[in-house]
Amino acid sequence: MPRRGKVRTDSLLSQLSATVVKSFMNVEYMVGRAAGVLVKPLSLIVTNYLFGNFLASELAAAFLAVMVLNGLLGFDLHRDFYSAYFSLKKSSMLAHRYQDYLSSLIAVSFLGALIIIFFFSLKGKLVVLSAIAIGVYFFSERMIDESLRFELYAERFESWGRFATVRVLFQGLAFGTASFILVQVEFEPIAALVGSMALGNFAVFFVLKSGVSSRRAAIKRLSSVRRWPEAVGRMVDVNKIYWLISALGILLSTSDRLVVSLVAFEKLAYFSLLASCFSIMVMSLDYLVFSMARGKLLRGDITSREIIMSSKCLIVLFFSSVCGGVAAAALPAVYPGVAVDYWLVVFVFMLQLCVAITVIPREFVYWHCAPVVLVAIELGAVLMGVILVWLSSISPWPIRGALLGLFLVLIFRFFVLEWLSGRAAASSRLAVQWSSKKMRE
């Protein structure tokens, strides 16, 4: 008779492999995902190899700024149009909502591009041409991301995969060409490299056949900027507390790279690559554990602690951290010119682990507590982080001190969220018991 523990492990492994096999069935989607995850790290590696670490760090700063601003301007602009488009009964206002959606999207993207140009021009390290290129890149990323989101909502995973893959191929082609030209021509390197990434985005946006005519028509209609103030008004009219939660969340999840960009800029590219290596923990936990338990979590059938302490979660965390560790150990072999800092590797591992496991109680608190509670916790964490990082920056060990401070803040945030989710789960179970008892009576 098989032992109980063995049966349990076998069923876990078969469950996990079933998930993996199911995902890999959709090859185009998986290829698109992998290409999307790899394109930025690869561009950093190539830039470092050809042009040196400092330029790679400047490129990493451009990527980071675009990612953070994308999160900060992450208003749910698509909500009204999507609810009209995907509802069973087509709304008669669909065309109008589509126009509203696109005009808000272009207005927000344009605003973001202006913010980013202003920021990088003020920074003084980059010339204006590079700042403009980063702004244009932001605009192109936003437009492409929205197009890809539509494919996902429409459940056209193959189309999503093709779109994402062709985008990366175009970007790779443009990036390679820009790099080759940069060897020969005296030109602003960041403007050329980031501009090539934007060019890749625009190329896929206009070249891909599906929906080209409607996109062109829509953009033509939107050429009148008179609609933009109205669009920005609608954008500001979104539910501010949920936007605040999302904005604070992106600040905390990218806080490690933000800190390194301030304290040790020349290490930013290497650090971003290390974070990419260990982000496999975040992705695999989200994909293999959390996505399957989300329904139960939202219904209150399972607590975040039960998910985190489950064998499945621990196995996924263990294997993904080993994979991340191997990738981080191999990184110096493909990223020459930077002295290996083992402390940095340890800090990145701890910070990414924190980010990975915090996703679960954060989601629970998001759905089961008042939004203001989550805002208070996130805001407190951001403020604590700023104070600790500032204190470390004037200490004799700025980078390690800052990262240690950040880790303490993130782990404290995790325990607060975990404690809150436990309380919320207990009260919701009590409520269920009380109502079933009432029903029996």
Partner 1 sequence: MRTSRFSARVESYREEILVSGSAYLGTWLDSASREKIRVFIDDMSPSGAEINYEGTEKRIWDGHLLSADISVFEKMANDVVSRFLGRSVEAYTVLAYSNKPLPSNSRAELGRWHIDSLRRQMKVFMFLTDTTEASGPFEWVVGSHSVQFKVRALLGGHYWSFWPIHRGGTRKYSKLPDGWVEEELRNRHEIRPLLCGAGDVFLVDTSSVHRARPCREGARYALTAYYRN
Residues 108-147 that bind partner 1 (CB under 8 A): none
Nearer to partner 1, 61 or 247 (CB): 61
Burial of 224 (0-12, 13-18, 19+ CB in 10 A): exposed
Place of tokens 């700024």: 65
Q: Does 189 bind partner 1 (CB under 8 A)?
A: yes
Binding residues for partner 1, rule CB under 8 A, total 19
Could you say whether residue 332 binds partner 1 (CB under 8 A)? yes
CA distances from 318 to 285, 408, 413 (A): 10, 22, 22
Binding residue (CB under 8 A) for partner 1 from 50, 298, 315, 408: 50
Give the residue, chosen from 139, 335, 349, 407, that forms a contact with partner 1 under the rule CB under 8 A.
Answer: 335
Q: From its phi and psi, is residue 295 left (phi > 0), alpha (psi between -120 and 50) or beta?
A: alpha
Stretch that binds partner 1, among 95-103, 207-215, 218-226, 330-338 (CB under 8 A): 330-338
Stretch that binds partner 1, among 49-57, 108-116, 206-214, 356-364 (CB under 8 A): 49-57
C-beta of 333 vs 394, nearer to partner 1: 333
Measure the CA–CA gap between 29 and 23, rounded to whole angstroms. 8
Three-state secondary-structure class, residue 26: coil
Q: Is 336 in the site for partner 1 (CB under 8 A)?
A: yes
Per-residue x/- marks for partner 1, 232-271, CB under 8 A? ----------------------------------------
- Under the binding rule (CB under 8 A), the answer on residue 49 touching partner 1 is yes
**CB of 179 vs partner 1, minimal distance in Å:** 9
Q: Which phi and psi angles does 211 have, rounded to 5°?
A: 75, 15
- Report the nearest approach of partner 1 to the CB of residue 129 (Å): 13
Helix, strand or coil for residue 435? helix
CA separation for the pair 253, 416 (Å, rounded): 16
| Residue 111, token pair as written in the block | 């605003």
In the complex, minimum distance from the CB of residue 329 to partner 1, in angstroms, rounded to a whole number: 11
**What letter does residue 264 receive in the DSSP assignment?**
-
What's the min distance (Å) between Cβ of 32 and partner 1? 24
Instruction: Say whether residue 342 binds partner 1 (CB under 8 A).
Output: no
For partner 1, the closer of residues 193 and 259 by Cβ is 193
Query: Where does this chain touch partner 1 (CB under 8 A) — which range of 80-88, 327-335, 389-397, 405-413?
Result: 327-335
Q: Which stretch binds partner 1 (CB under 8 A): 23-31, 44-52, 196-204, 427-435?
A: 44-52
Please answer whether residues 392 and 398 qualify as being in contact, where contact means their C-beta atoms are separated by less than 8 angstroms: yes
* Residue carrying structure tokens 């979104």: 238
CA distances from 439 to 160, 190, 428, 430, 434 (A): 48, 67, 17, 14, 9
Among 75-83, 135-143, 176-184, 206-214, the segment contacting partner 1 (CB under 8 A): 176-184
Nearest CB to partner 1, comparing residues 182 and 263: 182
| Min separation Cβ 40 and partner 1, Å | 19
The stretch among 79-87, 184-192, 300-308, 426-434 that binds partner 1 (CB under 8 A) is 184-192
Q: What's the min distance (Å) between Cβ of 333 and partner 1?
A: 4
Burial track 296-334 (b if 16+ CB lie within 10 A, e otherwise): ebeebebbbbbbbeeebbebbbeebbeebeebbeebeee
Cβ of residue 336: shortest distance to partner 1, in angstroms?
Answer: 5
Tell me, what DSSP letter sits at residue 125? S
Q: Which residue has the tokens 């924190």?
A: 354
CA–CA separation, 306 and 312 (whole Å):
11
Give the Cα separation of 278 and 276 in Å (integer). Answer: 6
- Residue 283, both tokens: 């992705």
Give yes or no for a contact between 269 and 56, defined as CB atoms under 8 angstroms apart: yes
Q: Is 337 in the site for partner 1 (CB under 8 A)?
A: yes
Cβ-based nearer residue to partner 1, 49 or 412:
49
Positive or negative: CA dihedral 156, 158, 161, 166 = negative
Residues 201, 141 contacting (CB under 8 angstroms): yes
> Is there binding between residue 333 and partner 1 (CB under 8 A)?
yes
The piece of 116-124, 296-304, 308-316, 329-337 that touches partner 1 (CB under 8 A) is 329-337
Binding to partner 1 by residue 71, rule CB under 8 A? no
Question: Closest distance between partner 1 and the C-beta of residue 330, in Å?
Answer: 7
Of 45 and 258, CB closest to partner 1 = 45
Alpha carbon 52 to its chain's center = 27
Q: Is 52 in the site for partner 1 (CB under 8 A)?
A: yes
> Which residues here bind partner 1, judged by CB under 8 A?
49-52, 54-55, 180, 182-184, 186, 189, 330, 332-337
